[in-house]
């Protein structure tokens, strides 16, 4: 113990002498303490990941490690992966991928093949290797989350934590919008010390002739307003569905309080893809199970139509269906380029770098076209298989679930959680038609968050199915055996194999 203390003290002293600030060794000790807690309780890694996504998703550790700077999300995922995989190797934990996990691993294999195939024709920059590695790790977070969600209580706590984090994230974005643009710029620029960008800090709605309007979009600390709106859309869907279920995991008044800043953030982001995804997810669950969601949606729609601010949001949404809108026209051009690249490179796509053809640019605002562009039709098939098996697991469970009034309280909570995650995932799938952040290497935290929701949906479906199936089956007895049972034990015959 004395030798260990001496070595630790020497290491801290060397780090303090070499560091430009005494805060660096303090931050190192805090980081090691957090890592130790995650290694001891791996489920804390999922909690910390959700908290970072809500507050500082692009934060970077100021200390370079191996010539590169890890983000907070990278560090938490690395520690969580190591904690889970270490227990799988040495403590008897088991990974339960299921059909979605198998399809996802197959997609990752195809993505690696597409990446290597593209590197055979042109050198791969180290930065691209790092980005693609982070993307693939974010996809495989599905398997880690499945290993962590080992009980219904953990699933319920994750649901609560996701809603808490969404309210905090929405409050940050809506609070910043109450300030003047100069004040917002000043506050967000101070995040430069942890790696936040200094260009295009504030985002305005594009105008005609390559100009910008004076309408500012909420971004919070998410840098991109569409990413901000899309991640908030997931949390808001959970809140609305939980408000409608018979036994929510939080009190209804608490859900209303959490939904206010979250909904404000979604609206102020002016992200039409997240609006459409939110509506699609809620309409699906409202039609399948909880009709009060449709009633609440109708009331909100009437309020938007009757108020001037609401009419502005409606006009913003409707303009997205017209090519006169600058963003929509830009997306149409991206779709055409993506289809051209898929036709030229149908099997494995172009990889994750720049376009190999100078007449066509890479990149498209659609999850599915982006996957087809980068990994070809083979990768798209595997990716869609992972998505469809995940969605079908949740949708089948919600459609087959019993009447909530005839279910035990704990089972009602589980049904409500399953419906909430189905709505959130359905909304994300619809939003993916019009935006790319759930499969983009530039937003690995959004990719990992999406697959965390997918893991929660599959896990909830497994718990619900286990509750529905009896532990043992009772074979019905015949009339002769029933008469003997009623007569009592005095006339039991001797055992005979023929009887």
Q: Please give the pLDDT value at position 200.
A: 83
Q: Please give the pLDDT value at position 238.
A: 96
Please report, rounded to a whole number, the percentage of residues in the chain having pLDDT higher than 90. 53
Residue 299 tokens, joined: 């009331």
Mean residue pLDDT across the chain: 86
Q: How many CB atoms lie within 10 A of CB 69?
A: 14
Mean pLDDT across 118-141: 89
**Global confidence as pTM:** 0.88
Are the C-beta atoms of residues 174 and 217 closer than 8 Å to each other?
Answer: no
Beta bridge partners of 211: 207
DSSP-derived letter for residue 373 is H
Q: pLDDT of 403-454, one tens digit each?
A: 555 566 667 888 899 999 999 999 999 999 999 999 999 999 999 999 999 9
Q: Please give the pLDDT value at position 244.
A: 93
Q: Provide φ and ψ at 438, rounded to 5°.
A: -85, 5
3-state helix, strand, coil in the chain (%, to 5): 70, 5, 25
Mean pLDDT across 96-108: 91
Q: pLDDT of 160-194, one tens digit each?
A: 999 999 999 999 999 999 999 999 999 999 998 88
What's the pLDDT band for 126 if we cut at 50, 70, 90? confident
Mean pLDDT across 23-44: 80
What's the pLDDT band for 330 if we cut at 50, 70, 90? confident
Mean pLDDT across 233-237: 96
First to last CA, the chain: 73
> Torsion angle, CA of 204/207/212/217, rounded to 10 degrees?
-10
What's the pLDDT band for 471 if we cut at 50, 70, 90? very low
Q: How many CB atoms lie within 10 A of CB 17?
A: 8
C-alpha span between 206 and 291 (Å, rounded): 38
More confident residue, 312 or 78: 78
Strands, E, within 354-491: which ranges? none
Mean pLDDT across 304-308: 85
**Which has the minimum average pLDDT: 154-158, 344-348, 404-408?**
404-408
Of the candidates 200, 189, 247, the one whose C-alpha atom is nearest the C-alpha of residue 225 is 200
Q: Please give the pLDDT value at position 67.
A: 64
Residue 452 tokens, joined: 């965390």
Mean pLDDT across 456-483: 68
More confident residue, 272 or 466: 272
Q: Could you tell me the residue ranges of all domains in the chain?
A: 99-468
Are the C-beta atoms of residues 62 and 69 closer than 8 Å to each other?
Answer: yes
Mean pLDDT across 466-485: 57
Is residue 371 predicted with pLDDT exceeding 60?
yes
C-alpha span between 189 and 332 (Å, rounded): 33
Tell me the C-alpha to C-alpha distance, in Å, between residue 416 and each of 240, 281, 460: 11, 14, 10
**Which has the minimum average pLDDT: 76-80, 172-176, 353-357?**
353-357
Distance of CA 154 to the CA centre of its chain: 17
Q: Please give the pLDDT value at position 158.
A: 95
């Amino acid at each position: 113990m004395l030798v260990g203390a001496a070595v630790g003290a020497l290491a801290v002293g060397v780090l303090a002498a070499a560091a430009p600030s005494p805060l660096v060794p303090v931050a190192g000790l805090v980081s090691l303490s957090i890592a130790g807690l995650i290694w001891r309780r791996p489920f804390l890694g999922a909690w910390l990941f959700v908290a970072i996504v809500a507050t500082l998703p692009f934060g970077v550790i100021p200390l370079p490690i191996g010539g590169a700077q890890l983000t907070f999300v990278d560090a938490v995922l690395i520690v969580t992966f190591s904690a889970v995989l270490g227990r799988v190797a040495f403590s008897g934990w088991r990974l339960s991928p299921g059909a979605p996990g198998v399809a996802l691993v197959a997609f990752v294999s195809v993505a690696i093949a597409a990446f290597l195939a593209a590197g055979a024709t042109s050198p791969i920059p180290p930065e691209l290797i790092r980005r693609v590695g982070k993307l693939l790790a974010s996809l495989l977070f599905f398997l880690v989350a499945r290993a962590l969600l080992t009980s219904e209580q953990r699933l319920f706590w994750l649901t609560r934590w996701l809603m808490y984090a969404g309210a905090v994230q929405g409050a940050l974005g809506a609070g910043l919008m109450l300030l003047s643009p100069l004040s917002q710029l000043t506050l967000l620029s101070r995040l430069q010390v942890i790696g936040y960008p200094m260009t295009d800090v504030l985002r305005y709605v594009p105008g005609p002739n390559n100009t910008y309007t004076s309408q500012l979009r909420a971004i919070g600390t998410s840098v991109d307003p569409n990413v901000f709106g899309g991640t908030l859309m997931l949390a808001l869907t959970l809140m609305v569905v939980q408000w409608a279920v018979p036994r929510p995991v939080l009190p209804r008044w608490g859900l209303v309080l959490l939904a206010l800043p979250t909904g404000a953030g979604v609206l102020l982001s002016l992200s039409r893809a997240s609006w459409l995804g939110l509506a699609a997810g809620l309409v699906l669950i409202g039609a399948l199970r909880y009709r009060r969601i449709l009633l609440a949606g109708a009331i909100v729609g009437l309020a938007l139509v009757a108020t001037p601010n609401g009419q502005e949001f409606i006009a913003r949404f409707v303009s997205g269906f017209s090519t006169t809108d600058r963003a929509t026209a830009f997306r149409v051009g991206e779709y055409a380029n993506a289809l051209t690249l898929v036709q030229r490179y149908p099997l494995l796509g172009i990889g994750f770098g720049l376009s190999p053809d100078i007449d066509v640019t890479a990149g498209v605002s659609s999850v599915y076209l982006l996957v087809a562009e980068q990994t070809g039709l083979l990768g798209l098939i595997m990716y869609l298989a992972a998505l469809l098996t995940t969605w079908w697991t949740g949708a089948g469970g919600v459609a087959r679930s019993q009447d909530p009034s005839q279910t035990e309280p704990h089972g009602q909570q589980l049904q409500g959680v399953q419906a909430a995650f189905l709505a959130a995932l359905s909304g994300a799938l619809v939003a993916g038609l019009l935006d790319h952040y759930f499969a983009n290497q530039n937003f690995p935290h959004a990719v990992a968050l999406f697959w965390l929701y997918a893991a929660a949906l599959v896990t909830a479906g497994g718990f619900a199915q286990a509750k529905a199936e009896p532990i043992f089956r009772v074979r019905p007895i015949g009339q002769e055996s029933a008469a003997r049972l009623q007569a009592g034990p005095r006339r039991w015959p001797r055992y005979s194999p023929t009887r």
